[in-house]
Structure 1
Amino acid sequence: MAEKKTMQNIIAIDLLRALAALGVFTYHMHVGALLAKYSGVHLIAYMDALGAFYAVPLFFLISGYCIHASNIKYIKANIALPLKEYYLRRFLRIYPPYLFALLFALGINYIASGTYKPSMVDFVVHLFSLQGFTVPYFNSINVVLWTISIELAFYAIYPLFYYVRFKYNLNYALLFSLIVSCISIAYFQINGSINIAERFCVFNLWFAWCCGAFLSDKKMLSQGDLKQPVYMVFYFVVLVVFAGLKYFPNSFFIVSDQISILLWSAPMMFIISKEDWLRQHKDTWVIKIAAAIGLSSYSLYLLHEPLIYLKNFAAHKYLPASLQFPGLIAGIFIIPVITWYSFQFIEKPFISRKKPVEQAA
């Protein structure tokens, strides 16, 4: 009997999450720059570009794919999205680990010397995950937490995409998201002087996020459609626009952010298409480790920055000079282990057990 697959155990999704989380982690550790410095191979420094520019876009595309895929059962049953259950499930999946990470980061900020001491206003803004909509607190306590504001906003407005998909069809839903994003981008581009919160406004990025939802719908309900030439043409256009925008880096960066998400669409679908092969080789150590990192990628993403602060602080304060460098290197490998246990004890208890559709109407 074939092993049942859910969005919580698709190996390809775990590997993609691992790639994104490790990209951000190694970037904040400056691993590429350090390897280039000590090896003399300067090209290695470019590996930091994954975490700097492309890891968060990958997370956003995966998010759109997985959120819609988890609700495909309602599309199949031809019933409306149960909003109460949906919002409760999203809240429990995201907020408890986020709150733990926020409190942990605050503790490290006060313990580790030389780090930012947040105000009460800063704390309250982060408590309600509003930092992504502000300029002063955008990345004040923990540089990565702004993305959680955007993710929560994506979750909040996803039912609009689902409603159009349910009442009309998938193409209309995607077109609706495109119109919303075009209006939002045009508004900010015309006004000019775009600040960081305006740049990453959820409506600017919504079309690209919904492309993840679109792909999951096609993959699970009309997989053969993805072989049509129109999708190859669309991705070719994405590549051309991506290359073209490199010549205008300061003029169309809102569009560039959207393209950075869409750039992952073909690689993501290619890796997902290899799920059967991955399951056949799931016991190999590389896939097992990568999949474990993928499972705990949310904890790794949330906690790695304060853990890096703590590692550096502890190594310089408590280790003799001769052991500081080895201690710092060891910390690179210890942090993913710590975040794995965070996943087990902080995240996992809140991961919802999905009810059958018959009970969820």
Structure 2
Amino acid sequence: MPSLLHRLIHLPERARRVTGNQAYIPQLDGLRFFAIMPVLFWHASIRGYRSMLNLFGMPPMGEPTWLPHGEVGVDLFFVISGFVIARPFLAMIEQGRSLKVGRFYLRRLLRLQPPYLLVLVVCAASAAFGLAGGGHNPGREVHRMIDPWASFWASFFYVHVPVFGVPSLLDPPIWSLEIEVQFYLLSPLLIWLYARMTCREWRLAAGIWAVTVAMIAGAAIRAGMGVFAPWSFTLATHLDGFLLGVLLADMRQWRLRPRPGAGAWKDAGFLLGLFLLLASGLWELLGAFWPMLLRDALRLLACALIVDGALGGTRAGRLAGAPWIALIGSACYSIYLIHVPLMVIVWIALTRVMHIPALWIIPSAMALLPIISIAAGLVFYALVERPFMSADWPAKFMRAFAPRLNRSEFSS
């Protein structure tokens, strides 16, 4: 019988992402790891920061300004999404095959909706019974006027921000999933238009131009309407990241053979990209157009360096593809779905049973809550999300329940 140590060593290999017919690239999940970690530490710091304010008799509002904002991770997620979605579409176009758009939409729905729906139901039921909610954003006063089940249905159809003007009452971080869905709807058309240019040099120039225009438009919208305006939580202000992912996927397909000595340069670029990404998060709440545009350009450059380094670097590739880093990246969707409601509940319980000194309350939150979120997310991933990664799970589900249904009909 295998020992516990042996099982732990081989767990990442057995529990890794299900990719269907595509080859598994652990570095892509490693990139997701580097995207989820700033989000976890940011939201954990908010819990500790507001508890500290509460200890000093101050309103528990606001966010720490000395830590990179969690949105840096969300923006890296958007670049990864653009990259991952573009790869099969570009390959189909390159090979002269027709795009399976209907299959793409159905696959996204069957893959992402079941765990998403389960989390929404649990959060809506908790909010309806007056239990702790996950809200921590500036729309808190508006949230008090939104019925939990109205928030549920708006979130179910990924239209909470367009309908109510604020992120979801039930699970605030899912505003980014609404943006992902908006890109899913447009991505086949955008990638098809992009790939119609057969000259790769012109296509590269058009891709850079599109990313630049989208970046300028996003900064202009946020500067004109405000950082927390509804438009700031839509694809209109985040299209540049997705388009950069498409561009990087095309460049990766174009240059599959690495140049001699390029790995070391990509390793250095990877480290520089991580530094620039985190540094850009220290200026998240800028309101003026030009500083915001400079920050966004810096962040896109950082994301490009990180993706290129993880996929083409020597040491960066080994780091991103390390088994446990890749496994946590595989579970990033589960972690992202549950981490804020979980952090709220766990932190309320901890602060009620433990007296944490004010000096240690933020470090305690940042040390405990990300670890708890990752552990719970891995369990949720194994039990809930991963079974739905298989493309034929509906058929397996029907085969599993058909004998029971037949037996119940016969007995009746």
TM-score by length of 1: 0.72
Question: 1:207 aligned to 2:251?
Answer: no
The CA deviation at 1:22 is 1.7
Question: 1:101 aligned to 2:119?
Answer: yes
How far apart are the structure 2 equivalents of 1:281 and 1:160?
A: 31
- Residue from 23, 27, 31 that aligns with 1:16: 31
- Residue from 325, 329, 350 that aligns with 1:294: 329
Q: 1:113 to 1:186 in 2, by over 3 A?
A: closer
- Residue from 145, 156, 177 that aligns with 1:148: 177
User: Which amino acid is the alignment partner of residue 236 of structure 2?
Assistant: F
* Paired position in structure 1 for 2:41: 26
**Contact map agreement 1:161 1:173 (CA 8 A) in 2:** no
The CA deviation at 1:208 is 2.9
**Contact map agreement 2:223 2:288 (CA 8 A) in 1:** no
Q: 1:351 to 1:172 in 2, by over 3 A?
A: farther
Q: Deviations over 1:45-97 (max 9, x none)?
A: 88831x53411111111111111123343123212321111111122232222
Question: 1:56 aligned to 2:74?
Answer: yes
Where in structure 2 are the equivalents of 1:155-234 lying within 5 Å?
A: 155-169=184-198, 170-171=203-204, 174=207, 177-178=210-211, 181=214, 184-185=217-218, 188=221, 192=225, 196-223=229-256
User: Which amino acid is the alignment partner of residue 309 of structure 1?
Assistant: V
The CA deviation at 1:272 is 1.3
**Contact map agreement 2:227 2:285 (CA 8 A) in 1:** no
How far apart are the structure 2 equivalents of 1:17 and 1:262?
A: 17
Q: 1:113 to 1:185 in 2, by over 3 A?
A: closer
* Paired position in structure 2 for 1:357: none
How far apart are the structure 1 equivalents of 2:82 and 2:382?
A: 24
Work out which of the two has the higher radius of gyration on C-alpha atoms and give 1 or 2.
2
How far apart are the structure 1 equivalents of 2:304 and 2:111?
A: 24
Q: 1:266 to 1:32 in 2, by over 3 A?
A: farther
Q: 1:187 to 1:30 in 2, by over 3 A?
A: closer
**Contact map agreement 1:18 1:293 (CA 8 A) in 2:** yes
- Residue from 336, 347, 356 that aligns with 2:385: 347
**Contact map agreement 1:17 1:59 (CA 8 A) in 2:** yes
TM-score by length of 2: 0.64
How far apart are the structure 2 equivalents of 1:223 and 1:84?
A: 29
Q: 1:126 to 1:321 in 2, by over 3 A?
A: same
* Paired position in structure 2 for 1:304: 339
**Contact map agreement 2:211 2:244 (CA 8 A) in 1:** no
The CA deviation at 1:110 is 4.7
Q: Deviations over 1:231-283 (max 9, x none)?
A: x9xx99xx8xx98x96993112764674334431112211111379856996x
Please provide the CA RMSD for this pair: 4.2
Secondary structure in structure 2 of the residue aligned to 1:249:
coil
How far apart are the structure 2 equivalents of 1:352 and 1:247?
A: 38
- Residue from 124, 138, 155 that aligns with 2:153: 124
How far apart are the structure 1 equivalents of 2:191 and 2:308?
A: 21
How far apart are the structure 1 equivalents of 2:293 and 2:163?
A: 21
Q: Deviations over 1:14-56 (max 9, x none)?
A: 122112112111111119978xx9xxxxxxx88831x534111
Aligned residue pairs, count: 322
User: Which amino acid is the alignment partner of residue 302 of structure 2?
Assistant: L
How far apart are the structure 1 equivalents of 2:319 and 2:238?
A: 36
How far apart are the structure 2 equivalents of 1:144 and 1:162?
A: 27
Secondary structure in structure 2 of the residue aligned to 1:48:
coil
How far apart are the structure 2 equivalents of 1:173 and 1:164?
A: 11
* Paired position in structure 1 for 2:302: 263
* Paired position in structure 2 for 1:337: 375
How far apart are the structure 2 equivalents of 1:83 and 1:101?
A: 27
Moved more, 299-308 or 77-86: 77-86
How far apart are the structure 2 equivalents of 1:114 and 1:262?
A: 39
**Contact map agreement 1:69 1:216 (CA 8 A) in 2:** yes
**Contact map agreement 1:185 1:204 (CA 8 A) in 2:** yes
Secondary structure in structure 2 of the residue aligned to 1:66:
helix
Q: Percent identity?
A: 21
Moved more, 185-194 or 148-157: 185-194
Question: 1:66 aligned to 2:84?
Answer: yes
Q: 1:147 to 1:193 in 2, by over 3 A?
A: closer
User: Which amino acid is the alignment partner of residue 196 of structure 1?
Assistant: A
Q: 1:186 to 1:211 in 2, by over 3 A?
A: closer
* Paired position in structure 1 for 2:93: 75
**Contact map agreement 1:300 1:336 (CA 8 A) in 2:** yes
How far apart are the structure 1 equivalents of 2:226 and 2:169?
A: 21
